[in-house]
Amino acid sequence: MSLVRPRDKHHRLPASELARIVADARERTLELVKDLEPAQFDVCLLETVNPFRWELGHVAFFFESFVLRLLGHAPVLADGERLYDSFKVEHDSRWSLPLPSLDETLAYMHQIQRLVVERLGDREPDAEETYLYLLATLHEDMHGEAFTYMRQTLGYRPPRIGNATPPEPAGPHPGDVEIPGGVFQLGAAENHPFVFDNEMWAHPVEVAPFRIAKAPVTNAEFRAFVEDGGYEREDLWSFQGWAWRQSVALHNPVYWRNSGSWRRMHFDKPVELEPHHPVVHVSWYEAEAYCTWAGRRLPTEAEWELAASGEPDGDGGISPHKRTRPWGDGVNDTVYGNLDSRTIGCVDVGAYPDGDSAFGCRQMLGNVWEWTASPFYPYPGYLVDQPYREYSAPWFGYRKVLKGGCWATRSRLINNMYRNFFLPDRTDIFAGFRTCAVD
């Protein structure tokens, strides 16, 4: 049975382009760990963190499983499933597995990389092969972001990547924009080059008119909530949120410190809290409590996607054209957003005005992931993806949708339709939020 979905049958990339992005993803992965000490590859057991050595083997094994083996290559690592299959290896057992040494792991990664590139050879891949190469590459991009926030979680120094000069301080970007109501096509269109199964397919949803913030909530805005006793007031929190807040005993965002003035931990060092940067490393529960305190609310997934990708029709409604990125279609440049780890951290929410959406929302891609009000559920007519059956289906109903990517997200991965999904208690990811008016 073909692994290619009907939409993919005409989408092909040249072998040279596939080889380039595969090499780029692997180069970034290795850059993210090359400065670590040997002991740092085997961290102690933490609920949300994998051992770096396991994670390295996993991204290589994904290429072996979803590219080489599916295209007919004999197994390279005989016991790979027992070691690196994330759905066969329980999270808590990954520290006690008989993993290959670091040198052996790196050698395995290089071997798989060589075989994957050699397979492209001098011929042009068909649609099935293009799809599999893209799937494995984007999977590695996701883990590259995980390597980055793992370093933050463990208090390691920042990764030594990124060569862009941060933009000049741009300050806040306050206020709301008004979004007209109407029927909006939520999800990915069938002519989009590559989509994940949970983005399929665009379907009509009715959206009432709403007002959404031009920019994400800033550190200064969230500090006002903290200093007004927001973490001590049970009335601001949902039942589940208050239970979580009590269990973790937080009185402010997880990396904030107050010793006369507010500072935050940026990887291994405290820095002055930047007032106009977006608040980051906050859970969905914290975002929800802030909204209650501020008399605001989180946008739904449909509202967020409409604000990012919709266009006015000139008559007070919504145009049928939908943008792939806030600033347009098929355009990806450093002037539009804080992506690709160009800067190792966030920038002011007023930065990157060229990346505004048609309705005037800023930084809807890059800087921080944004929590939405929506639980993660499949779209109508959802079909489990082939071959990566475990990408979405096990997580429906338990997680919240995040949109927009962050500074560590690869630009080739992210677009307006991309759906990230995490449990509402997660604070380790680079997540913030923007709010909507309560009308």
CATH value at residue 406: 3.90.1580.10
Give Cα separations from 370 to 96, 182, 186, 214, 404 (angstroms). Answer: 35, 23, 17, 13, 6
Give the predicted TM-score (pTM) of the model: 0.96
Q: What is the DSSP letter of 25?
A: H
Q: Tell me which residue of 22, 35, 125, 29 sits closest to 71, measured CA to CA.
A: 125
The mean per-residue pLDDT over the stretch 72-76 comes to: 95
Residues 94 and 203 in one domain: no
3-class state of residue 196 by DSSP: coil
| Of the candidate ranges 29-33, 189-193, 412-416, the one whose mean pLDDT is the lowest | 189-193
Q: What is the mean pLDDT of the chain?
A: 93
**In this predicted structure, what is the pLDDT of residue 6?**
44
Give me the domain span that covers residue 60.
Answer: 6-153
Under 8 Å between Cβ of 391 and 196: yes
Q: Which two tokens stand for residue 13?
A: 């990339």
On whether residue 359 sits in a domain, the answer given is yes
Q: What b-and-e string marks burial along 35-47, b requiring 16 or more CB atoms within 10 Å of the CB?
A: ebeeebbebeeee
Look at residue 177 and tell me if it is in a domain.
Answer: yes
**The total number of structural domains that make up the chain:** 2
141 and 188 assigned to the same domain = no
Report d(CA 57, CA 290) in Å as an integer: 40
Q: Cα separation of 127 and 396, whole Å?
A: 28
Pairwise CA distance, residues 55 & 154, whole Å: 15
Listed in order, strand segments (DSSP E) in 171-209 are 176-179, 182-186, 203-207
pLDDT of amino acid 3: 52
What integer pLDDT is reported at residue 201 of this predicted model?
Answer: 95
Domain closes at, from 128, 153, 178: 153
CATH classification at residue 136 = 1.20.120.450
Q: What percent of the chain has pLDDT over 90?
A: 84
**Residue 121, Cβ neighbours under 10 Å: how many?**
10
Helices (H), 173-310: 219-227, 239-248, 284-294, 301-309
Can you tell me the mean pLDDT for 151-157?
95
CB 297 within 8 A of CB 284: no
Which pLDDT value is given to residue 45?
Answer: 65
Residue 227 has pLDDT above 90, yes or no: yes
Residues 243 and 285: their CA atoms lie apart, in Å, by 10
| pLDDT at site 334 | 80
Which has the higher per-residue pLDDT, 9 or 394?
Answer: 394
Last residue of a domain, one of 129, 153, 177: 153
In-domain check, residue 216: yes
> Are 214 and 122 in the same domain?
no
User: Same structural domain for residues 18 and 133?
Assistant: yes
Q: Is residue 321 part of a domain?
A: yes
Task: Note the pLDDT of residue 290.
Answer: 99
Residue that wins the pLDDT comparison between 34 and 47: 34
Q: Do 390 and 244 fall into the same domain?
A: yes
d(CA 282, CA 333): 28
The 10s digit of each residue's pLDDT in 308-345 is 999 999 999 999 999 999 999 877 778 899 999 999 99
Do 181 and 217 belong to one domain? yes
Q: What percentage of the chain carries pLDDT values higher than 70?
A: 97
Q: For residue 96, tell me if it sits in a domain.
A: yes
107 and 175 together in one domain: no
Q: Specify the pLDDT at position 217.
A: 99
Domain boundary among 131, 153, 175: 153
Do 132 and 181 reside in the same domain of the chain? no
Is position 310 within any domain?
A: yes
Whole-angstrom distance, CA of residue 205 vs CA of residue 187: 10
Which region among 9-18, 68-77, 248-257 has the lowest average model confidence (pLDDT)?
9-18
In a domain, residue 1? The reply is no
Same domain, residue pair 282 and 238: yes
Q: What pLDDT does 350 receive?
A: 98
276 and 395 co-located in one domain: yes
Please count the CA atoms within 13 angstroms of the CA of 62 that sit on its side-chain side. 25
Paired tokens of 217: 């909530």
Residue 4 pLDDT class (50, 70, 90 cuts): very low
Stronger pLDDT, 228 or 121, i.e. the higher one: 228
Residue 158 forms part of a structural domain:
no
Pick the range with the lowest mean pLDDT from 21-35, 48-62, 262-276: 48-62
Cα–Cα distance, 167 to 315 (Å, whole number) = 36
- Res 433: pLDDT: 99
Q: 184 and 71, same structural domain?
A: no
Region 408-431: mean pLDDT is 97
Same domain for 108 and 22 = yes
